[in-house]
Amino acid sequence: MKNFVIGIGGTGAKCLEHLLHCCSAGLGPEQLWVGMIDQDEANGNVSRTKVLLSKYQNLQDSLRNETKNDLAKDSNLLKTQVSSNADSVWLPLKGSDPTLEEVVNYELLKPEVKGLLDCLYAPEEKAQNLSEGFRARPNIGAAAMLATSANENDPFWNQIHKAIDAARGGEEVRIFIISSIFGGTGASGFPNIARKIKAIQKEKNVTSNLYIGGALMLPYFTYDVPDENMDGEIFAKPAEFLDQTKGALEYYSKLFEYDKIFDQVYVAGWDPLSKVPSFKMGGNLQNNPPLFPELYAALGALKFFSNDNKISSNQEIFHIGKNESEEILWGDIPNVSNNLNSKEKISQLIRFSFVYNFIYSPALSGTWSKIKSFSDESWFKRLILKYTYNEDQKQCEIGHEYNQEVISLMKEYSQDVLTWIADMHHSTVINTEQKINLIFSDFFSEFSPKKTNRIKIKDKLTFSEKKEFAQLISDNSNFKLLNIMSNICYKKINKNQKGLGVFMDVLFRSCEK
């Protein structure tokens, strides 16, 4: 089975961030192609996911390498083989800072068509530079999207063409699109991209094996727009989100009634809305925090890709929500399938990231003369020494550059996971009446909502801070660092694992409650 996920706009990109972390935790399918669509290429949300995607792929290349470091097939850590184009973001409109007028060649149009455009778009909308996205104007985005062609020579559309060819060849192909219903890029891209895919399917005369799913994010966050210097600017106004959503839902209800584009649609929203602390119109400064409802979209995508998900011929629409109290709990996170418990896998990844970042990577970083002080310890002998020992040169190669690179890559990724979960934990409920009780992060991180880097992970922890690990996951499990130390000394080593893959997998499995 081939799986494709496309995140459209800032929300789409943010949902992909959750999805990638879920894939590292072992909740994803065997294989997944990831792409993003955003006119605002420099957007902070998109850039963050782009960097994360590249880190995931680097780690995967390093730790799923059959010659040196191999986690092997059975390991759930970084289980999903994630691929993407060299540039994972597709810009619908190429060129430097285009306007809608330029995109539709306004000056060359017949007067009556010009008149129609004048009716549909205000002068400032036609003249708005689009390099920072469609600024919550789906009418602009829709025109821009429709003006582009789904050319097979384009690397992005080439993947879609290949996917449809694979479906024609008998392989099952699932494509999932994630976006918001209330923004600019996402709202305009969601139906139009799906339609373009359907059009290619029709053109290639593929009638089976291709399934399209989608996650639509209803309004789930808001922000305060500063009063000064905003006159004449086009930007996403939170006050308009609900009206936009109402209009969009009416549109989708008609679309779904008359045209079966999607096989399964997941709809998620949030009430009361999370309050994003800072407002930025677009560009690299628009770096919104990961929010809990986005995790629902990511899990919806993973459910769609799950082998257990039997897609019927009827169009299915799933709604998702949390418990009715004001508190977000682990129980509010749905499972991907009967065999994949989301809560257990995500908490396992969080524990792994914590212990790797604060406990084991400091021990494994540096030269052999520093690391060898642990060489007599059982965990080191069975997981590191044995698998990084060079028989010819009679030495342990853990201190070598290529191993140190893997150790450092995993440390960076672990910090990303801790930043992601801590940021989501704080930002989802800040300035609202809601509460969240998933993790306890204050002992290893500092949260500053006004700063660009909202979360600062501490460099080192004190003895008493390390003891707080037992409360890291709010599930009363009392899982201690001692349990992990014990587990890594006893967990069975899977066959076919090589090099650092052995240690990483055993440590990951040791973090399972």
Partner 1 sequence: MVHVFKSLLLASLGVASLGWLSFLLIGTLLNGPDADSALAQYVADHILFEENLDQLGWTFSEVSEGLFKLIAHMNIVFLGVTVVMTLSWSALSHFLNIDAPGKAKIYFIHWSVFTGILIAIFLAIAWYFTKSAAFETAELISTGGSFQLTLFGVIFYTLIYYLGVLLGTARFARSSVLFANKLPGVL
Task: Assess 376 for contact with partner 1 (CB under 8 A).
Answer: yes
Task: Assess 54 for contact with partner 1 (CB under 8 A).
Answer: no
Q: Which stretch binds partner 1 (CB under 8 A): 261-269, 379-387, 396-404, 410-418?
A: 379-387
Task: Assess 255 for contact with partner 1 (CB under 8 A).
Answer: no
At 36, is the secondary structure helix, strand, or coil? strand
In the complex, minimum distance from the CB of residue 360 to partner 1, in angstroms, rounded to a whole number: 7
Q: How many CA atoms lie within 13 A of 219 on its CB side?
A: 22
Closer to partner 1 by Cβ: residue 56 or 387: 387
Amino acid identity, residue 273? Answer: L
In the complex, minimum distance from the CB of residue 388 to partner 1, in angstroms, rounded to a whole number: 13
Task: Assess 367 for contact with partner 1 (CB under 8 A).
Answer: no
Q: Which stretch binds partner 1 (CB under 8 A): 14-22, 176-184, 285-293, 482-490?
A: 482-490
In the complex, minimum distance from the CB of residue 84 to partner 1, in angstroms, rounded to a whole number: 36
Closer to partner 1 by Cβ: residue 304 or 356: 356
Q: Which stretch binds partner 1 (CB under 8 A): 13-21, 183-191, 325-333, 355-363?
A: 355-363
Note whether 91 and 98 are within 8 A (CB): no
In the complex, minimum distance from the CB of residue 486 to partner 1, in angstroms, rounded to a whole number: 6
Q: Which stretch binds partner 1 (CB under 8 A): 183-191, 192-200, 232-240, 477-485?
A: 477-485
Considering only residues 483 to 512 of the shown chain, the ones binding partner 1 according to CB under 8 A are: 484-486, 488-490
Task: Assess 385 for contact with partner 1 (CB under 8 A).
Answer: yes
Closer to partner 1 by Cβ: residue 323 or 486: 486
Closer to partner 1 by Cβ: residue 85 or 471: 471
Closer to partner 1 by Cβ: residue 107 or 376: 376
Considering only residues 20 to 39 of the shown chain, the ones binding partner 1 according to CB under 8 A are: none
Task: Assess 481 for contact with partner 1 (CB under 8 A).
Answer: yes
Closer to partner 1 by Cβ: residue 321 or 362: 362
Output phi, psi for 30, to 5 deg: -65, -40
Binding residues for partner 1, how many (CB under 8 A)? Answer: 26
Q: Which residues of 171-186 are buried (b: 16+ CB within 10 A; e: fewer)?
A: eebbbbbbbbbbbbbb
Instruction: Pick the binder of partner 1 from 73, 246, 319, 386 (CB under 8 A).
Output: 386
Task: Assess 480 for contact with partner 1 (CB under 8 A).
Answer: yes
Residue where the block lists tokens 């009780």 = 437
Closer to partner 1 by Cβ: residue 252 or 479: 479
DSSP state of 122: -
In the complex, minimum distance from the CB of residue 329 to partner 1, in angstroms, rounded to a whole number: 27
In the complex, minimum distance from the CB of residue 386 to partner 1, in angstroms, rounded to a whole number: 7
SS (H, E, C) 51-102: HHHHHHHHHHHHHECCCCCECCCCCCCCCCEEECCCCCEECCCCCCCCEHHH
Task: Assess 382 for contact with partner 1 (CB under 8 A).
Answer: yes
Closer to partner 1 by Cβ: residue 330 or 374: 374
**Cα–Cα distance for residue pair 375/408, rounded to 1 Å:** 20
In the complex, minimum distance from the CB of residue 139 to partner 1, in angstroms, rounded to a whole number: 58
Task: Assess 363 for contact with partner 1 (CB under 8 A).
Answer: yes
Beta strands in 196-338 (DSSP E): 210-217, 221-223, 264-268, 274-276, 316-320, 327-329
Query: In sequence order, what are the beta bridge partners of 175?
Result: 4, 212
Note whether 209 and 313 are within 8 A (CB): no
In the complex, minimum distance from the CB of residue 402 to partner 1, in angstroms, rounded to a whole number: 22
Task: Assess 285 for contact with partner 1 (CB under 8 A).
Answer: no
In the complex, minimum distance from the CB of residue 482 to partner 1, in angstroms, rounded to a whole number: 5
In the complex, minimum distance from the CB of residue 43 to partner 1, in angstroms, rounded to a whole number: 40
Considering only residues 412 to 471 of the shown chain, the ones binding partner 1 according to CB under 8 A are: 466, 469
Q: Which residues of 67-101 are buried (b: 16+ CB within 10 A; e: fewer)?
A: ebbbbbeebbbbbbebbbbeebbbbbbeeeebbbb
In the complex, minimum distance from the CB of residue 378 to partner 1, in angstroms, rounded to a whole number: 4
Angle formed by the axes of helices 342-355 and 401-427, to 10°?
Answer: 120
**Cα–Cα distance for residue pair 282/184, rounded to 1 Å:** 11
Q: Which stretch binds partner 1 (CB under 8 A): 5-13, 67-75, 225-233, 381-389?
A: 381-389
Counting beta carbons within 10 angstroms of the beta carbon of residue 256, is it exposed (0 to 12), middle (13 to 18) or buried (19 or more)? Answer: middle
**Cα–Cα distance for residue pair 297/178, rounded to 1 Å:** 7
**Cα–Cα distance for residue pair 190/208, rounded to 1 Å:** 22
At 470, is the secondary structure helix, strand, or coil? helix
Closer to partner 1 by Cβ: residue 147 or 359: 359
In the complex, minimum distance from the CB of residue 349 to partner 1, in angstroms, rounded to a whole number: 20
CA distances from 503 to 116, 320, 371 (A): 64, 38, 15
How many whole angstroms from its chain centre is CA 436?
Answer: 21
Note whether 374 and 380 are within 8 A (CB): yes
- Taking alpha carbons only, the member of 350, 329, 299 closest to residue 18 is 299
The alpha-carbon radius of gyration of the chain (Å, integer) is: 24
Closer to partner 1 by Cβ: residue 305 or 379: 379
In the complex, minimum distance from the CB of residue 513 to partner 1, in angstroms, rounded to a whole number: 15
Closer to partner 1 by Cβ: residue 33 or 469: 469
Query: In sequence order, what are the beta bridge partners of 6?
Result: 35, 177
Query: Rule CB under 8 A: which residues touch partner 1?
Result: 359-360, 363, 373-374, 376-383, 385-386, 466, 469, 480-482, 484-486, 488-490
